[in-house]
Amino acid sequence: MFTLTDEQELLRDTVRRFVAEVCPPAQAKAWDETGTYPAELFSRMADLGWFTLPFAESDGGAGAGPVELAILAEELGHASFDITMCYISTLVAGLALARWASPEQRAELLPGLFSGRSRLALSMSEPGAGSDVSALRTRARRVGNSWIVNGQKTWCTGAALPNTLITMYVRTGDGATGRDGISLMLIDPESVGVELRKIPTLARGILGTYEVTLEDVQVPADRLIGPLDHGWDVLLSGLELERVLISGGYVGAAQQTIDEAVIYAKQREQFGKPIGSFQALAHPLADLQTEVDAARLLAYRAAHLLAQGKPCGREGSMAKLFGSETYVKAARWGMQVWGGYGFSTDSIMSFRYRESIVATISGGTSQIQRNVIARSMGLRPT
Ligand SMILES: Cc1cc2nc3c(=O)[nH]c(=O)nc-3n(C[C@H](O)[C@H](O)[C@H](O)COP(=O)(O)OP(=O)(O)OC[C@H]3O[C@@H](n4cnc5c(N)ncnc54)[C@H](O)[C@@H]3O)c2cc1C
């Protein structure tokens, strides 16, 4: 668990070179600021076969496991967490399809994902259903050979990228509430009755995140994925892997933030000395490096458990909690180390600061992760 295999090290070095060549941090910042869709980023990832990695060989995949994916997520996080998301968001939704879709649906949908030609966005959240996803109200009614969908979704990340289908959780059960009567459907955002509105955000501008309004949207019956009314099982089935991968992304982003702070602390001189020689800055940076290492160990522990087919709900939540909080802390200290220059929006540190702040919110807030951990300890926080 404490070392990587030769193959895993090779993968890590390949991703490092990829980040340096295709999406160095300054490039990620520029794409974020202009809300640019980086077509080349996706096509280069596809050329390297990364979108096929975790899928079963019988589906045309490479059968790689959670540890390899965590390595990818971490290394891409050095560019920015948003770049990690460019890789993992389609992948996590695609794995749900591989797990739950029919053979016909898999044959139709997976080749496009593997080649990078098509993408998936995930839509659970609604204005009234954030941390409590089970409060979702978007409704699908069966009429003949179609579903008619009405409702309001929000925070659907990447919904407007070219060739994207939305994997959307909707209420199908008549009169059902809570976790019952939820189903997963594929919605084409170009369908009549779907309207997207980009939410202006502090960061995460590459994929962008959207409100999705649905008014009498006609969805063919064969766009239902997995068992009718049992979408909650589908939703839970990918949660552990998702937490591992986003934790990997936060570790990479936090590490890069500290690296950027340390380089600056060695170069910048005041009172005739590098500012990093002042204990008041050196010690917090030493503490932060220790915390990033701890966050990395938590992420890889959860990945190893998952690779062995063992449950890792508690460990995944610990990794997400600590990884995200560490990214926020690293960026806060990074701003202090960079002094006034960090406050300029020209600086890479200002980008880390903007991007990190949502880490403890998206993908399940820190409070929700603590609830999961507390429950695993026999406590019942409300
Ligand atoms: C950049 C971004 C991208 C996103 N991408 C997606 C996406 O692609 N698809 C998608 O479906 N969703 C997405 N989301 C939504 C995200 O999952 C939610 O924002 C998150 O789950 C929190 O929900 P909320 O924002 O409604 O906050 P709320 O649930 O309203 O929470 C507000 C505050 O109350 C606290 N709180 C709530 N319940 C409890 C409790 N039981 N105990 C203790 N504290 C509690 C929270 O921790 C938080 O501090 C995204 C969000 C952001 C910001």
pLDDT digits (tens, 9 = 90+) for 135-153: 999 999 999 999 999 999 9
Does the pLDDT value for residue 86 go beyond 90?
yes
174 Cβ neighbours under 8 A, 6+ residues apart: 181
Strand partners, 123: 168
Does the pLDDT value for residue 167 go beyond 90?
yes
For ligand 1, whether the C-beta of 209 sits within 6 Å is yes
What is the residue with the minimal CA distance to atom 43 of ligand 1?
367
For ligand 1, whether the C-beta of 361 sits within 6 Å is yes
C-beta of residue 28 within 8 angstroms of C-beta of residue 83: yes
Q: What proportion of the chain, given as a percentage, has pLDDT over 90?
A: 97
Could you read off the pLDDT of 257-287 as tens digits, one per residue?
999 999 999 999 999 999 999 999 999 999 9
C-beta of residue 134 within 8 angstroms of C-beta of residue 232: yes
- β-strand pairing of 269-270 with 164-171: unpaired
For ligand 1, whether the C-beta of 124 sits within 6 Å is yes
Prediction pTM value:
0.97
Instruction: Choose the residue to mutate in 81, 119, 365, 379 for probing ligand 1, maximizing ligand atoms within 8 Å of C-beta.
Output: 365
Is 112 strand, coil or helix? helix
For ligand 1, whether the C-beta of 130 sits within 6 Å is yes
Does the pLDDT value for residue 1 go beyond 80?
no
Could you read off the pLDDT of 36-78 as tens digits, one per residue?
999 999 999 999 999 999 999 999 899 999 999 999 999 999 9
Q: What proportion of the chain, given as a percentage, has pLDDT over 70?
A: 100
What's the CA-to-centroid distance between 133 and ligand 1, angstroms? 9
For ligand 1, whether the C-beta of 369 sits within 6 Å is no
142 Cβ neighbours under 8 A, 6+ residues apart: 172, 221
For ligand 1, whether the C-beta of 136 sits within 6 Å is no
Confidence of residue 2 (pLDDT cuts 50, 70, 90): confident
For residues 243 and 232, give the distance between their C-alpha atoms in angstroms, rounded to a whole number.
17
What's the CA-to-centroid distance between 20 and ligand 1, angstroms? 33
Cβ-based burial of 381 (10 A; exposed 0-12, middle 13-18, buried ≥19): exposed
When pLDDT is averaged across residues 121-129 and rounded to a whole number, the result is 98
374: how many CB neighbours lie within 10 A of its CB?
A: 14
What is the residue with the minimal CA distance to atom 23 of ligand 1?
130
283 Cβ neighbours under 8 A, 6+ residues apart: none
